A and B are shown apart, each in its own frame.
Chain A
Amino acid sequence: MDTATGPLEALELGPLPLATGPTSTLEGPTMAHATCPMATLEGPAQAHATSSVAALPREVADVVVLHLLAWDVLAAKKLPLNHDLGRRLLLVLYAVVKSSSPRKPAQRHRPIYIRTTLSCLASLSSSAPSNTPITPQQPFLRYRLLSSMEDKCPEPIRCKAAVCRAAGEPLTVEEVVVDPPKAYELRIKIVCTSLCHSDVTFWRMKDFPGVFPRIFGHEAFGVVESVGEQVDGFAAGDSVVPTFLSQCSECADCRSSRSNVCSKYRFAVRPGMPRDDTTRFRDADGSPLHHFLGVSSFSEYTVVDVTQVVKVDPALPPPTACLLSCGATTGVGAAWKLAKVEPGSSVAIFGLGAVGLAVAEGARICGASKIIGVDLNPEKDELGKKFGVTHFINPKELGEKTVGQVIVEMTDGGANYCFECVGLAALMSDAFQSSRAGWGKTIILGVEMHGAPLSIPSREILHGKCVMGSLFGGVKPKQDIPILAEKYLNKELELDKFITHEVALKDINTAFDLLLQGKSLRCTIWMDN
């Protein structure tokens, strides 16, 4: 056998007897990329190669991909790319492809024939037993290759979703139809999702912006199933989290480091998609279903605007990635990015739900010396300790004193940073009272559940106090979520402790019960596969 060589010149694709289309008309850069084994490409080059291939007519793309697959096997075996094994592989692969794919495969069949192809390849390569499932981590069989084989004309998908038909009513798991993505949109196959109290706030809301029937959910992890036109930087197969907050990257706010509220696609609780206000969901009778925050993740498939999708490292466990989609990022971001808690600070957190505890986690990695947690639920005392809470206050157990008085005493004047993580105006006032004169900052994260106004004492604020608020912890989704993901992967940030329960989609109402009873932080809801 010949010994291994480096990347080689163009290999003639040869006249494979495929049913349709030209087989050797590849242009410039695509040809150059096609000659280089996909396994050796990294980052942008790989993405470019993938999208170049994806841009080809399907028949040609299939040819190229089969060649790439074959070359990857050869490279792994350190064989030259013109080795006869390659040619034999291609013939076998072609036979597999031709036999397993109907002329116009529906979306469902593609994954099957791709998996068949890959497992066949694996057995041929003898580097794994023939029954070993193909995992994305195998270096020469990248999951990314699947993206080059996306269907060019996605069709509506029938799938299951948890629909809420009336305010405060249990969700019903029904069959829905999810339209293909329009321009600037992606259709995402949701792998798992979780319940956040903001879902609950609008689930309970009888009047606008509460609307029904609606598919809730905005914290999730998924895989891109198809992309609409004009979508750059994403392809089928990408691991992504959808976010309720947009980042267009073009407007004054997106371009400024001082703001994270995109002014081109402003956050609002709308019934439809952000660009055209229409829906992509219909129920089994064909009636429209409303979106929630442009995410609607309580569905096996959903359609999300490209400004609301963030690519994440596939090495992240899905339930963890899901947390970064809202709750964990909001809390950690608020401490790290918005308040910029410095080492030695004192921090008070009102509401030890997932967001409040994420603030504690963020304050911990920022080096806060005192993290005071306030919650009516005594069980949060023990739980809080796992998240770095150093002092616990249950307002019901204070007797005559107010929370503000106790915290001012504990911190010798007031906490440097006070976070409200519930959504109640009275707590926002308590948080303000607990902050230190001179430089104390009160940070509002909670969405006021009754729409009550925030009341700031007009003379007290003169003593150097500040009140600020943010959506999503001041975080810019597309650049900051990957940063938090990295902090998790290098074990700087601990997120696994947020997941306290898991259920399947059919038991999604259990997730609501657990949250409302204060028994859970985050309950992962797995989509059936």
Chain B
Amino acid sequence: MEQNTAKMPIRCKAAVSKMAGQPLEMEEVEVAPPRAHEVRIRILCTSLCHTDVTFWRMKDLPAMYPSILGHEATGVVESVGDGMVEVAVGDTVVPVFSAQCGDCADCLSDRSNICSRLPIRPGGMPRDGRSRFSFASTGEPIYHFISVSSFSEYTVVDVAHVVKIEPGGIPHEMACLLSCCVSTGVGAAWKVAAVEPGSSVAVFGLGAVGLAGAGCGAKRIIGIDLNPEKREIGKRLGITDVIDPNGTDGRTVSEVIKEMTGGGADYCFECIGSTPVMAEAFKSSRMGWGKTIVLGVSNDVGPISIPSHDILRGRSVVGSLFGGLKPKTDIPVLAQMYLDKELELEEFVTHEMGFNEINTALELLTQGKCLRCIIWMNGAREK
């Protein structure tokens, strides 16, 4: 049982990123016990999100090396730090990169989900900035990734980043999706944009985030993606029209969208992380009230370049992390929606594999051949 390891470091396997763009290396690591406000989690399953890939490829800050990536996961609490009340050993939990301390002005307000008490500290734990991981052989520290680091059999996470899941409720691999991609897409449509029925929507990038947003119930949901294989699954998940940017007879995507919608879409979601696409999404939005919602995490520091006279015509650009959702409050709501069959999650799981095959997952995602690969830790897959 778990009690044997409480308060002691645990040795286990982790997939470590040592150099930008290189395959992850399976290493034995030591995971320190949780301190106050922290929990140590035994990961059951994790999945690869494109933001992991973005940082995996990044040579400079904010990427740090060596580090343990991964931020979409489901796990079980193995031990807790002193004075922990909120979460108990044995709880099924979903770690989330977006904090909710519950106390700061942002957590107490409806208008924000960006916890101001615990901003993300690159490479370490949010409260002391230090790492709980080290190489078992050398003791050299290994950096965390956005307060989660789920590509490890065990990880330590601050309680502000932990969401409890009802036991026996939502299956673990589905809960894992709520840890980032689906929550981001659904939240953006529901909370950030507040898409009304009858609206026209354009979704740039039909990955898991974009497709999650496609379930928003708008009248017209135009999907834009370079990958023709996304067409079919797009249609299954609510996309009404698909545009291939390479198949527009020389017109720009915004020109095509403006024609299709009689002036521009009410809401444009950027779900890739490409600043030129963000600018194109803006141009595709309707004058008067068109909103562009930026969700993608870009890999360059270049800005989104917008014609300044255009923004005077009543358009707006808003960005959000985690779809504007408050994790502890809203993930249970989404879990219940799944159980009530109001939220589609199965379609997002396109592959399953063991922890040792994690580099295969990387290949599949970078080649656009999967949505979500669920990576099961040894012995964790439910029958």
Contacts and interface: CB of A to CB of B under 8 A. Distances in A.
Closest A-B pairs by Cβ, 10 of them: A259-B288, A438-B112, A461-B319, A469-B311, A468-B316, A455-B303, A448-B308, A466-B318, A258-B289, A438-B114
B61 interface: no
B89 interface: no
Contacts of A454: 305-308, 311
Contacts of B300: 458
18 contacts: A253-B287, A258-B289, A261-B287, A439-B111, A439-B112, A453-B305, A453-B307, A453-B308, A455-B306, A457-B301, A458-B278, A458-B302, A459-B297, A459-B298, A461-B319, A469-B312, A469-B315, A471-B314
B319 A259 contact: no
A463 B319 contact: yes
B324 to A, nearest CB: 7
Given A258-B288, A259-B314, A463 B114 contact: yes
Interface in B252-308: 263, 273, 275, 278, 287-289, 294-295, 297-298, 300-308
Contacts of A465: 318-319
B123 to A, nearest CB: 17
Contacts of A457: 301, 303-304
Contacts of A459: 297-298, 301
A293 to B, nearest CB: 13
B336 interface: no
B103 to A, nearest CB: 14
B309 interface: yes
B318 A444 contact: no
Interface in A428-455: 428, 437-439, 444-445, 447-448, 451-455
B289 A256 contact: yes
A458 B281 CA distance: 13
Q: Which of B300, B308, B310: most chain A Cβ within 10 A?
A: B308
B116 interface: yes
B111 A467 contact: no
Nearest to A472: B312
B109 interface: yes
Nearest to A252: B288
B235 to A, nearest CB: 29
Q: Which of A253, A439, A444, A464: most chain B Cβ within 10 A?
A: A464
A75 to B, nearest CB: 49
Contact of B308 (A259, A425, A471): A425
A74 to B, nearest CB: 53
A451 B308 contact: yes
B52 interface: no
Interface of A: 252-253, 256, 258-261, 263, 267, 413, 425, 428, 437-439, 444-445, 447-448, 451-471, 474
Given A451-B309, A464-B114, A256 B288 contact: yes
A455 B106 CA distance: 26
Nearest to B279: A453
Contact of B315 (A263, A452, A461, A468): A468
Contacts of A470: 312-314
A57 B286 CA distance: 48
A358 to B, nearest CB: 16
B321 interface: yes
A455 B305 CA distance: 5
Contact of B319 (A444, A464, A471, A474): A464
Nearest to A448: B308
B92 interface: no
A469 B116 CA distance: 27
A265 to B, nearest CB: 13
Given A263-B288, A448-B308, A438 B303 contact: no
B84 to A, nearest CB: 27
A471 B312 contact: yes
B113 interface: yes
Contacts, number: 136
B320 interface: yes
A471 B313 CA distance: 6
Contacts of B311: 444, 454, 467-469
A130 to B, nearest CB: 55
A260 B312 CA distance: 11
A246 B98 CA distance: 45
B308 A464 contact: no
Nearest to B274: A458
A437 B114 contact: yes
Contacts of B316: 466-469
Contact of A463 (B109, B275, B278, B321): B321
A455 B314 CA distance: 17
Nearest to B120: A463
Given A439-B111, A457-B303, A466-B317, A428 B308 contact: yes
Given A259-B314, A263-B288, A462-B294, A453 B306 contact: yes
Nearest to B290: A259
A474 B312 CA distance: 9
B111 to A, nearest CB: 4
B294 A458 contact: yes
Contacts of A425: 308
A457 to B, nearest CB: 5
Nearest to B319: A461
Q: Which of A252, A452, A459: most chain B Cβ within 10 A?
A: A459
A188 to B, nearest CB: 26
A259 B289 CA distance: 6
Contacts of A469: 308, 310-316
Contacts of A456: 303-304, 306, 317
A438 B289 CA distance: 21
A445 B315 CA distance: 12
Nearest to A453: B305
A261 B302 CA distance: 31
Nearest to A257: B289
A253 B324 CA distance: 28
A99 B313 CA distance: 56
B109 A261 contact: no
A413 B298 CA distance: 24
A461 B312 contact: no
Nearest to B318: A466
B79 to A, nearest CB: 32
Given A425-B308, A437-B116, A455-B304, 11 more contacts: A260-B288, A267-B313, A437-B112, A444-B312, A454-B308, A456-B317, A458-B298, A459-B297, A463-B321, A465-B319, A467-B311
B317 A461 contact: yes
A12 B278 CA distance: 74
A450 to B, nearest CB: 9
Contacts of B308: 425, 428, 444, 448, 451-454, 469
Contacts of B106: 438-439
Contact of A458 (B105, B111, B263, B303): B303
Nearest to B278: A458
Nearest to A425: B308
Nearest to A413: B116
Contacts of B321: 462-464
Contacts of B288: 252-253, 256, 258-261, 263
B64 to A, nearest CB: 16
A450 B253 CA distance: 27
A425 B306 CA distance: 10
A62 B383 CA distance: 97
Nearest to A424: B308
A425 B305 CA distance: 10
B309 A448 contact: yes
A71 B165 CA distance: 84
Contacts of A467: 311, 316-318
Contact of A462 (B289, B305, B306, B319): B319
Nearest to B286: A259
